[in-house]
Structure 1
Amino acid sequence: MITKRLVFTLLIGTLAFTGCSQTKHESTNSLDEPSEVLENTDVQDSGEEEFNFSYECLNTTEFWFGSGAGAWRTTLRIKNDGSFYGEYSDTDAGSISSEAPNGTKYYCAFNGQLGTLEKIDNLTYKTTINSISYENPKDTDEIVDGIHYFYTEPYGLENAGDIYFYLPGKNVNTIDSDEYSWIGKDFYDAPYDTEGWYLPFVVLANSNMHYAFHGYDFVQQTIDACEYYNNDSGLSEEQLYLMWDQYLNEIWVNLHDIKDSTFMNSLKEKELDWISERDSKLEKKDYMAAYSMTKERALLLLDYLIEYSNNNAYPIPLQEDTSDAPHTAINQSSNEHTATIDETPISDNRLSVGDEYVLKSTINIRMQPDSSSDKLAIAYKDEIITIKSEDLNGWTEIEYDGSIGYVRSELLQ
């Protein structure tokens, strides 16, 4: 039975978009030459220009509603035209029978169409679910591979009336307290440090049921996961292959979601040749060779994700909430409210020679101040670099892991 619990999630990332009333840089790289680095996500000055939210702003965002890692969850992605798709799953490994010795799973794969967005204020937009359909008929069941599947509706979207989007910067005291209870625990690791006063990410809320989905950047999450997969010591050759094969599949799925059919069809032709060569290694049980070529392939495709994020994705800006609600800080460990007036302005952090900088995303470090230069290293989110020289023609000299390299200056703003 599903019961409501506070959200605790390790899903992280910055929020990104295309076509959201800001200039978009077009990629000039060929399919064979993925290039640069991930766009940084520092807080933007809300006074620069008016921000217009649209479904295109969510092209790399996945909405997540659940009880925590490894438990039940509903995930949802929205396309530029407002169509959406996702899945709900909940596993009960202890509920077994002679016909289903591998447990019970509640599941729903779904897709649908959202209506036109209505602007309520700069930080709040409203829409409706115009239609929704399920891959398997609701309230049916079957046994597959020893698992008893019960097909349901997606938890979190049931009885949906108005659907609201809350943007980064929205005062938490203007949000329904039940909705807040679902996403408050996600504040600890978010694209913006709002000290608990304002939302640090985009939220999707089912107002009828008082449910709220936390939005995170699935492209950035996949890029950041590379650090985890690189930590592969102590594994057998077969385990190494299986681990990197999993990561390769994750990257492929996300590329399929964000790239056009022309790109993917061209990539697929090369992928089929690669698969044939890999399978020949597996037939010979040459797991080291299969692991090496799978890791190499995964890192190549990962560069396409980095390139896409750099050239096409921009953060939803952290805007100022001008509502009359009190600015009440949230104690993130206890979820309690303490009345404290927020008088801290958003500062413009400028870097000087000798400063240490904590990376907000995964980036490429180049040997020379040029995008065509060889890569010195990949530096991961939350790692520290040291500034060695100020901006020179769009590049900054930095020190990383004892080596000197160059990073595009715009990523350190």
Structure 2
Amino acid sequence: MPIIKWTAKDVARRVIENKELFILDVRNKDAFSDWKIEGHKFEHLNIPYFDLLDGVEEILSDIPTDKDVLVVCAKEGSSIMIAEMLADEGRPAGYLSGGMKSWSTYLEPVKVGDLANGGELFQFVRLGKGCLSYMVISEGEAAIIDAVRFTDVFIDFASAKNVAITHVFDTHLHADHISGGRHIAELTGATYYLPPKDAEEVVFDFAPLEDGLKIPIGTSNIDIDALYSPGHTIGSTSFIIDGRYLLTGDILFIDSIGRPDLAGLAEDWVVDLRKTLYSRYRDLADDLVVLPAHFMIIEELNADGTVAKRLGNLFADNHGLNIQDEEVFRSLVTDDLPPQPNAYQEIRQVNMGRITPDNDEQTEMEIGPNRCSVR
């Protein structure tokens, strides 16, 4: 019985289309508990590869016969072998091409909505890492916000849309993933923007992203307005696009709020974080649609695959926006935080331009879940 090769895109469509999938994950238990492929209707069984070397007979009763079965490992080799063993037992199974390494790098573009005069806004969902990037398109021009390092995805998408990338922004100096913003700008001739308060140690040129900056995209007045919103970093900056969408970077998420400790200054930045969330954002219109730079859990995805929610709804439902006692808030964002992102100090150095690891080293730096929130 032949085994089936699945791509990360195949799995992503199962997530977004809310379809069932049974995953046999043959990585070690600690790797599985730390990070796995999440789906609304996915089931998992974690049996380390080495426990199956003598055969899969003992787990056949745990493998469903009425669902697609996908075997997953770190890089694909072990999953191919186990999928073949299942096939030899008459159980059809697939394997994930490239393993969790490929899942970590895959981006799924999803349209958020139409903008004024024919413009469009797209969200690039990195399901395996929880990263969210954005492209604003208007009359032949495009702006990219919080791009991850896979520059060809954005450049190819813009080419398919027949638009020129003219502006590239990072809402802050990222610590959980390597930014592709500067490199996209270099390849396309676009202007690269970074908050200067986050960029004191960078070794490359950039345009300052500052409060009140207003940049039109195209000729249809789809403006990107910068809103200084510190707390996750001292330079964190939000965007209001077309008067309808609020891009919050890593300050505000759908189900949580940003953590202030990734530069070692949690006690200093907690006041800024509270002021942004409880004062600056409170002055904004409730009807703005919040589009964060990350998501934490699969339940944050909407039925269409986007990660988005009205600001007014978040003020009502997001626990991090409803803590009236300042000391309780301080404790929430400084005590008992989740583990910091994998290699986050090195990632910050890459994003400053101070070190230049090769592609394999960058992949290893980014392996693992997103950990930018306080939850």
- Normalising by structure 2, we get a TM-score of 0.28
* More helix, by proportion: 2
- Normalising by structure 1, we get a TM-score of 0.26
Structure with bigger gyration radius: 1
